[in-house]
Structure 1
Amino acid sequence: MADQGVRPPVVLRGATVLVMDDAKAVLTGADVLTDNDKIAAVGPSLAVPEGTVEIDASDGIVMPGMIDTHRHMWQTVQRGYGADWTLTQYFVYYYLEHGKRFRPEDIHAGNLLAAAEAIDAGVTTCVDWSHNNHTTEHADAAVDALQAIPGRFVFAYGNIQAPPWEWSTTPEFRDFVNRRITGDDMLGFQIAFDIPGDPSFPEQAAFEVARELGVPVTTHAGVWGATNDDGIRLMHEHGFMTPESIYVHAATLTEDSYQRIAGTGGSVSVATESEQSAGQGYPPTWAIRKHGIPVSLSMDTSVWWSGDLFSAMRSTLGADRSRDHLEAHGNGDTVTNHALRAEQVVDWATRGGAKALGRDDSLGSVEVGKKADLVLLKNDASPVSFPILNPYGHVAFQAQRGDVHTVLVDGRIVKRDGQLVGVDLAAIRRQVDSSLDYLRSEMGDEAWQQGMHPDVPEVALVESPYQYNEFHGAAPASKAQDDGEGG
């Protein structure tokens, strides 16, 4: 997105403000004033410059823009298609069969839709875990789409159609980085690949490219049947585990791997909806909390799940708490106090993402001098909008994307009064429809339908011994006759 110059100041008036600082400050009846791309002041009844855009935030919640650290944005072109998939079916569909059919224009369409979806839901920064760049033309199309939408993005370059030690060392990849990754504050960069655990550690070459470029590696770790403790051990033994490393899922790792992550300062991107449904492993927050490993949240892919972090917060609280209850009940015990609180998952959705991306100096909290990436939750038409008694609980359990009233990214209003600003949804729809027509024609109708509706396994029903047959048929009538004869 081309820079539009100086932004007019904006003031959000009279809100409950979740500052998301170390003091866990919650302000009531407070204003938030922006100046160009920064937060200029936070407090009650602020005086504002002439020409300031005033937005009534009373009865609403102002919070930092949410940050998603792992989203396969290109797959959004097939939103909901894989609702009934397992992880195995996902791998077969995208890695082995139909993912290679995607053209640059299909990647572009998916990224446009996903980027618009993100800011609409108050996700002001999103990591595009873009792992279908089997040519640099695909990567160019992905970045073109990200830069066409007024959000903040991190492009994580990957390629599931080739091993990382091959594609990351090509002149074409280096040319792409030199052309497209220019230090733009609105477009960060990571390298994305997985480490299955080959003892020869061929991924070392890709890690060395990342180190030379000075960019983080993000990797799917602890995914059942795909990546495991061997990958973590190899990274550690070769010195490639750093504070910038992001371990996605980390759901089937042992204590030793968690200790290595904790000891090297890395963070885990938890995608609870994904882990619960697809089968990477049980969502790991219950296991990593005791190690003090930093956590961020992600939603993974809209080919299955929701594209917002409200669902991520809600499902993470549910999974963590249900695990605690299950273990307690197995021991004949009862959980009397929750270990994971609503406040913590809101922190993970904001500050947690900022820390994972190394941007907590400028993102993730509502503080003077930070970037003006802000979200106003306010829906006067909804009975769920009041009362706001516990604002963290309200965000985590009550709010949803339809309650996102206003969004600012870098000081620009990109959504107001519930409507996106500067996004042509009709044009995006046309591109998505064109890509879907192409993909369906390439697969054929039968394969398209089969991909969306995988077989349902048979379930053997258990015969119940509790059959109340004695109350059926003639028994009641017979009793009535007996009663009559005796009268």
Structure 2
Amino acid sequence: MNPDEITQVSAGRPVVFRHATVLAMDDADAGAIDDGDVLVTGDTIVAVGRDLDAPADAVEVDAEGGILMPGMVDTHRHMWQSALRGLGADWTLSQYFVFYYLTWGKIFRPEDIHAGNVLSAIEAVDSGVTTTVDWSHGLQTVDHGAAALDALRTSPGRFVLAYGNLLGAPWEWTKSAEFRAFVDQAAPDDNVGLQLAFDVTGDPGFPERGAFEAARELGLRVTTHAGVWGATNDDSIRLMWEHGFMTPDVTYVHAATLTQDSYQRIAASGGSASVSTESEQSAGQGYPPTWELRKHGIPVSLSMDTSVWWSADLFSAMRATLSADRSREHLEAHARGETVVHNRLRAEEVVQWATIGGARALGLDDRIGSVTPGKKADLVLIKNDESPAMFPLLHPYGTVVYQAGRGDVHTVLIDGQVRKHEHRLVGANLAGARDEVAATVEYARSTMGEAAWAESITPELASTERIPNPYTYTDYAGSSDRHTASSDE
């Protein structure tokens, strides 16, 4: 497909992918379709099969040797924090809280929220993520919220703005006249939805009741950080349960340090979990919980959390999640003196979590998340003829999870429009996004001052604990007896 054809596709020409390995990921999916075709007309998938008839004016995409799958769905990403990408690579969760909640979160202006969101949105498309939940807890004012929303509406992709304010009380800001006016004007559509994002602290008085009541009144889903070591725990879940606010419309992010009772309540209420394995492994929310979620039948979706710390693509999430789950299975078996001889979690299931699992968590599985006729044409072609890692293609789910990366994303369609092709973004103003973020970085650095900036990049190191080693032979190596023995020889 040449540049002129890309423009014509955006104007409405049908698109047909030819000779792909198709991972449909729908309820009727019996596995991968080898040598498959997918026909797209307008914003809709029209047909899936082999040797499909296509309109004469259809643009053909040669997908031979590639994997065609649904666009991935990230159910929890703090997009605004992409403006300070990588700053917290060596942080602990406590240092993250200190930076954003106690010291520097307050300095972010509406334009800084906008900058982070625009760059994050472009990055999502580049890595094959077509739908992202913007867990936007930096919205100190409705002006911040308007900036976040504008960035999403003007960026390629499908989004859900999960409105939050880490510096405010959710039971207060959700009832304010300004916020209610924002909701009235937001007018969610097919491309940008709205949720509420707040946490339940476990305060016995359950002040978060007001925020849940607001969500119910406004007809909005809730996403909440749950099971986070030292922050939210079983008391949070118990209070939600006792007050009747655990419903299928709640997503529990992390859900890592919970007891069986809490997992059972989530399962019984129909809630879902958003697992951010790279985050949980590094920050300390708790061990990535998929090994527990599977046992309780809790639906799983995947997320990246924040690129102020980690990578921002779901290939990393899938790889880390499958590895963490299997590692826990081995550890548990070894503790019992046993050996794992069959893996419970398979690569295919992890790909499901990254696609249709995310769509279900958002209540959008009737429109996105699988390669199904009648659904929106949110599609990703993974193909890279220049990469030795993309051949041979023997186990397509395994290739997606353990071999592929963002550089292998060949083509991305969202609503039938080409947003990336032949490994290059289409119609994205990356230069403009970089300029916006550069202005935010300059502002943040000058506002914080060089000492605080340097401390954020290189936080204080903990003292190293050394275990005495009885095998150093220090005394023996320095003894005169040893030298005497050597001389005698």
Shorter-chain TM-score category?
over 0.9
Change (3 A) 1:28 1:240: same
- Farther-moved stretch of structure 1 (342-351 vs 5-14): 5-14
Percent identity for Structure 1 against Structure 2? 62
User: What is the aligned partner in structure 2 of residue 162 from structure 1?
Assistant: 168
Residue among 257, 265, 270 paired with 1:265: 270
Residue 408 of structure 1 aligns to a residue whose secondary structure is: strand
Which amino acid is the alignment partner of residue 285 of structure 1? T
1:18 and 1:106 mapped to 2: Cα distance?
A: 38
Whether 2:304 is the aligned partner of 1:299: answer yes
User: What is the aligned partner in structure 2 of residue 172 from structure 1?
Assistant: 178
- Farther-moved stretch of structure 1 (370-379 vs 5-14): 5-14
User: What is the aligned partner in structure 2 of residue 337 from structure 1?
Assistant: 342
User: What is the aligned partner in structure 1 of residue 449 from structure 2?
Assistant: 444
Change (3 A) 1:371 1:101: same
Residue among 39, 42, 47 paired with 1:41: 47
Which amino acid is the alignment partner of residue 453 of structure 2? W
Residue among 245, 248, 252 paired with 1:243: 248
User: What is the aligned partner in structure 2 of residue 416 from structure 1?
Assistant: 421
Residue among 18, 26, 29 paired with 2:32: 26
Whether 2:128 is the aligned partner of 1:122: answer yes
Residue 227 of structure 1 aligns to a residue whose secondary structure is: coil
Whether 2:14 is the aligned partner of 1:9: answer yes
Residue 62 of structure 1 aligns to a residue whose secondary structure is: strand
The TM-score normalised by the length of structure 1 is 0.95
Number of equivalent positions: 479
User: What is the aligned partner in structure 1 of residue 3 from structure 2?
Assistant: none
Q: Alpha-carbon deviation of 1:482?
A: 4.7
Do 2:43 and 2:416's aligned partners in 1 also have CA atoms closer than 8 Å? yes
Encode CA deviations 1:320-376: one digit per residue, 9 max, x unaligned. Answer: 111111111111111111111111110000010011011111111111111100000
Residue among 126, 130, 137 paired with 1:131: 137
Q: Alpha-carbon deviation of 1:8?
A: 2.0
Encode CA deviations 1:33-62: one digit per residue, 9 max, x unaligned. Answer: 101011011112222113222111100000
Do 2:137 and 2:166's aligned partners in 1 also have CA atoms closer than 8 Å? yes
Which amino acid is the alignment partner of residue 281 of structure 1? G
Whether 2:400 is the aligned partner of 1:395: answer yes
Residue among 318, 327, 340 paired with 1:313: 318
1:457 and 1:420 mapped to 2: Cα distance?
A: 42
User: What is the aligned partner in structure 2 of residue 100 from structure 1?
Assistant: 106
1:475 and 1:384 mapped to 2: Cα distance?
A: 58
Residue 224 of structure 2 aligns to a residue whose secondary structure is: strand
Whether 2:195 is the aligned partner of 1:193: answer no
Encode CA deviations 1:144-185: one digit per residue, 9 max, x unaligned. Answer: 1111111000000000111001100011101111111x2310
1:476 and 1:315 mapped to 2: Cα distance?
A: 50
User: What is the aligned partner in structure 2 of residue 407 from structure 1?
Assistant: 412
Change (3 A) 1:316 1:477: same
Residue 193 of structure 2 aligns to a residue whose secondary structure is: strand
User: What is the aligned partner in structure 1 of residue 82 from structure 2?
Assistant: 76
1:83 and 1:462 mapped to 2: Cα distance?
A: 27
2:484 and 2:54 mapped to 1: Cα distance?
A: 88
2:204 and 2:39 mapped to 1: Cα distance?
A: 54
Which amino acid is the alignment partner of residue 148 of structure 1? T
Q: Alpha-carbon deviation of 1:24?
A: 3.6
User: What is the aligned partner in structure 2 of residue 348 from structure 1?
Assistant: 353
Q: Alpha-carbon deviation of 1:467?
A: 2.7
Change (3 A) 1:481 1:208: closer
Do 2:226 and 2:233's aligned partners in 1 also have CA atoms closer than 8 Å? yes
Q: Alpha-carbon deviation of 1:21?
A: 2.0
Q: Alpha-carbon deviation of 1:463?
A: 2.9
Change (3 A) 1:122 1:5: closer
The TM-score normalised by the length of structure 2 is 0.95
User: What is the aligned partner in structure 1 of residue 96 from structure 2?
Assistant: 90
Residue 235 of structure 1 aligns to a residue whose secondary structure is: helix
1:200 and 1:149 mapped to 2: Cα distance?
A: 41
User: What is the aligned partner in structure 2 of residue 227 from structure 1?
Assistant: 232
Do 2:159 and 2:193's aligned partners in 1 also have CA atoms closer than 8 Å? yes
Q: Alpha-carbon deviation of 1:204?
A: 1.1
1:294 and 1:350 mapped to 2: Cα distance?
A: 12
Encode CA deviations 1:387-426: one digit per residue, 9 max, x unaligned. Answer: 1111111100000000000000011000000011111111
Whether 2:381 is the aligned partner of 1:376: answer yes
Do 2:10 and 2:418's aligned partners in 1 also have CA atoms closer than 8 Å? no
Q: Alpha-carbon deviation of 1:478?
A: 6.7
Encode CA deviations 1:162-217: one digit per residue, 9 max, x unaligned. Answer: 1001100011101111111x231000110000001111111111111111111101
Change (3 A) 1:425 1:244: same
User: What is the aligned partner in structure 1 of residue 6 from structure 2?
Assistant: none
Whether 2:150 is the aligned partner of 1:144: answer yes
2:468 and 2:232 mapped to 1: Cα distance?
A: 40
Encode CA deviations 1:265-295: one digit per residue, 9 max, x unaligned. Answer: 0000000110110011111111111110000
- Structure 1 gaps, min length 5: none
Residue 16 of structure 1 aligns to a residue whose secondary structure is: strand
- Structure 2 gaps, min length 5: 1-8
* CA RMSD after TM alignment: 1.7
Residue 342 of structure 2 aligns to a residue whose secondary structure is: coil
Which amino acid is the alignment partner of residue 129 of structure 1? W
